[in-house]
Amino acid sequence: MFGWLVLLWLGMMISWIVFRGTKQQRLLLCSMDSDIKIAPDYSSKNKRTIPETPDQSPQELKEQKQNGNLDKARALGVSLANELLSEESVADFGVDAIAESEEIRRHRKILFAFVVVNCVERIIKSSLVSQAIQNAFFDEVKRHSQDIYELITDDAAYSLYYLCVRTSTTPAQCIGQTFAKLVEHPQETFCEFGKALYMRFEDCIQQKIQQTCFA
């Protein structure tokens, strides 16, 4: 039964990319390794769903408030948003390494937002705290820049990056290759650049999460 569901899901995702995806996504689908499976679509009409507050017991909510985790989560989300929004922040790492087009700058921001979500979901055990961080991150971005908010929540690149972290034995290299293909520069230089961005973003975000010292 599960196998049939996976096949149905794969067919739906491939059809979506073929008929409704962008040019870059269709090209990327054609060029991806045959052993990589299409990840679930994290968006509706190419729109990533911002996490809502999960169902939780009153006791858990009370505990997370009392131990300060929810306040810390919101502060961390705002801090990560500022890293994306501020000039000369970690989100601008390597900005002078190559001649960046507008498309590359767009995908740099998308990759940073993906790494925020992926690190938070992987490291934070409490779904309540995890989603409080993500909500604060996206809300703060939206408060400062509607354009950037729409950019980082309106792109199916998330699904392609999730393929790498969930199926590849070398996720950093896979993400670098995916980044290069999305910006339509599949040369080795851009693959290495995308890989370096991902690794720098991940190091910074993991460090910020650890420094928050959740209870």
- What is the tens place of the pLDDT at every residue in 177-198? 999 999 998 889 999 999 999 9
Average pLDDT over residues 57-63: 84
pLDDT of residue 117: 97
Contact between 64 and 126 (Cβ < 8 Å): yes
pLDDT of residue 205: 96
Percent of the chain with pLDDT over 70: 71
Residue type, 155: D
Show me where the domains of the chain are located: 2-212
pLDDT of residue 38: 38
Distance of alpha carbon 17 from alpha carbon 31, whole angstroms: 13
Tokens describing residue 190:
């851009």
Average pLDDT over residues 49-71: 78
pLDDT of residue 95: 64
Distance of alpha carbon 161 from alpha carbon 178, whole angstroms: 7
pLDDT of residue 116: 97
Tokens describing residue 37:
């499976």
Residue 49 is classified by DSSP as P
Distance of alpha carbon 129 from alpha carbon 110, whole angstroms: 22
Per-residue pLDDT tens digits for 150-173 = 999 976 899 999 999 999 999 999
For 13, half-sphere exposure in the C-beta direction (CA atoms, 13 angstrom radius) is: 19
Of residues 42, 36, 12, 58, the one with CA closest to residue 169: 36
pLDDT surpassing 50 at residue 100: yes
Contact between 110 and 151 (Cβ < 8 Å): yes
Mean pLDDT of the chain: 80
Residue 39 is classified by DSSP as P
The distance in angstroms from the start CA to the end CA of the chain is 41
pLDDT surpassing 90 at residue 203: yes
Contact between 194 and 175 (Cβ < 8 Å): yes
DSSP SS3 for 85: helix
Per-residue pLDDT tens digits for 101-158 = 888 889 999 999 999 999 999 999 999 999 999 999 999 999 999 999 999 997 689 9
Contact between 47 and 103 (Cβ < 8 Å): no
pLDDT of residue 87: 76
Distance of alpha carbon 152 from alpha carbon 18, whole angstroms: 22
* 35: CB partners within 8 A, 6+ apart: none
CB atoms within 10 A of CB 5: 9
Tokens describing residue 172:
């950093």
Distance of alpha carbon 140 from alpha carbon 85, whole angstroms: 9
